[in-house]
Amino acid sequence: MSEQLTVTLQEFRERIKQIKGYEEAIALLHWDMRTGAPRKGIASRSEAVGMLSAEAFKLSTSERMGELLEKLEGPASSGELSRIDQKLVEETRKEYDRNQKIPPAMYQEYVVLTSQAESYWEEAKDKGDYAGFEPYLDKIIDFNNRFIDLWGPKATRYDTLLDMYEPDMTTAELDRIFGGLRTKLVPLAAAIADSPHQPDRSFLGQTYSIEAQKQFSLFILQEMGYDFEAGRLDESVHPFATGLNPGDVRITTRYLEDDVTSALFGTIHEGGHALYEQNIMKELLYTTLCTGTSMGIHESQSRFWENVIGRSKPFWERYFADLQKHFPGQLDTDVDSFYRAINVVQPSLIRIEADELTYNLHIIIRYEIEKMIFNEGAKAADLPEIWNLKYKEYLGITPPNNKDGVLQDVHWSGGAFGYFPSYSLGNMYAAQFTNTLENEMPDLWDKVGKGDLLPVKAWLSDKIYKYGRLETPSEIVKRVTGKPLDPSYLVSYLETKYKEIYKL
């Protein structure tokens, strides 16, 4: 590599490191706002987040960044850059071209708005106050529409937002995938509802010590291989994971006194996100490649650990006795009954507590609402009614209030339109990865049944985690499984599991 190219690359890398430093500081402020920052300080903290975000934004869209990119993309760099640097240039170019179209003052205003909205959402959700939250949401939708106009719409306006969370995904492809899922899963759900072999969940209806739930959550994370020297577990209204860098990946969960499974599976879910972020290769440190490649692949890991592992029978053959010890005298049943109880399939109002099968219908509802917002012009004022009608259509139930309806998710308050499909895509990726894992590790379920989870984490680290954003979702799926994403693996997984549970 020439001396001139080396100097250019060093300056480029230093600017990326600066941007990454701002992003870490911003993420830490967000984490603090979501985990107990004083309410009266939220407005000022949101302004601080906005200012830091604006500085990072200016760095990433500066004239100098454009000059560096041109030099690193030029003929002199052809074949000279490492695989990591080449990918870093490609990803930075994509962000540069998109963000340069947004005025910095507009971006800062939007960041302040969403920071305030996320905090107000917590209060609005608790009170079921959609009317108070609606003005925030109305402004956030308006901003996203303005962003789409500046970027230039793709095949549809909503496609533009999808691409930010799952590169190259389109509504045409999702319509096909979700349509196929509906065709397979609705009859399966109907057969399950008609089965005379319904699991008994009555023994779960008790009051469970919050402190004991915390201790068991910590224990399970330890068993999964979560590194507590590189993270921590806290409490929040809505569980989430924040990866500052591989040495600091924090997660939260939500404890309910009347539901021991909520925090349990919420913790395992966020732990799956954290394992991804904690095990990215050190060569990607201080770069924007040091994170998950897409939200779909990220959700594949949280859903894998929560459902494929955490709701499996072998897992509970090992850990049910430990759960009983944490709640003495409260779970007086056998492991098979517990396993069937935590895998009940029935329509429910709350997405994060939904069973594996109907969960995908929750996602399809949100996906269709988001398409209506950006492709058909639905307004914030319309959403509670649309939400309730779709829950009646897809799940046969109507939310009794907005708290358990349109206000239940944090995503829209942060402007994360286009994110929700990632959850169902994650289920599909997870099922396909599991098929390969079972083939390459024939004693997988023996290991899980013995609590030997670290080889599973090691396989995932080697195949997925360490690469960060170095590969695209489609590249990862093709490399790991030998074929592109195929939803039939998810259908097969669900049919096999639930036909056995319900004796179909």
Residue ranges for the known binding site for Zn(2+) are: 269, 273, 299
Q: Residues 6 or more apart from 10 whose CB is under 8 A from it? A: none
Per DSSP, the three-state class of 397 is coil
The sheet that has 241-245: what strands, in order across it?
A: 233-235, 248-253, 241-245
Owner of token pair 């499984």 = 481
* Residue 286 neighbours by CB distance under 10 Å: 18
CB 359 within 8 A of CB 421: no
Active site residue 229: no
Residue from 122, 166, 270, 471 carrying the catalytic annotation: 270
DSSP per residue over 105-163, as a string?
A: HHHHHHHHHHHHHHHHHHHHHHHT-HHHHHHHHHHHHHHHHHHHHHH---SSHHHHHHH
Residue among 495, 496, 476, 448 at smallest CA distance from 300:
476
Q: How far from 182 is each of 194, 317, 364, CA to CA, in Å?
A: 18, 32, 9
Burial class for 102, CB neighbours closer than 10 Å (0-12, 13-18, 19+): middle
Hey, what amino acid is at 5?
Answer: L
CB 476 within 8 A of CB 467: yes
CB 476 within 8 A of CB 297: yes
Owner of token pair 């590189």 = 230
Q: From the DSSP assignment, how many helices (H) and strands (E) are in the chain? A: 20, 3
What are the phi and psi torsion angles at 252 (to 5°)?
-130, 165
Distance of CA 271 to the CA centre of its chain: 11
* Residue 144 neighbours by CB distance under 10 Å: 23
The token pair at 219 is: 């224990």
Residue among 343, 335, 350 at smallest CA distance from 237:
350
Q: Residues 6 or more apart from 2 whose CB is under 8 A from it? A: 76, 80
Residue among 309, 311, 312, 331 at smallest CA distance from 321:
331
- Residues 15 and 43: their CA atoms lie apart, in Å, by 29
Per DSSP, the three-state class of 64 is helix
| Bridge pairing between strands 248-253 and 241-245 | antiparallel
Catalytic positions are 270
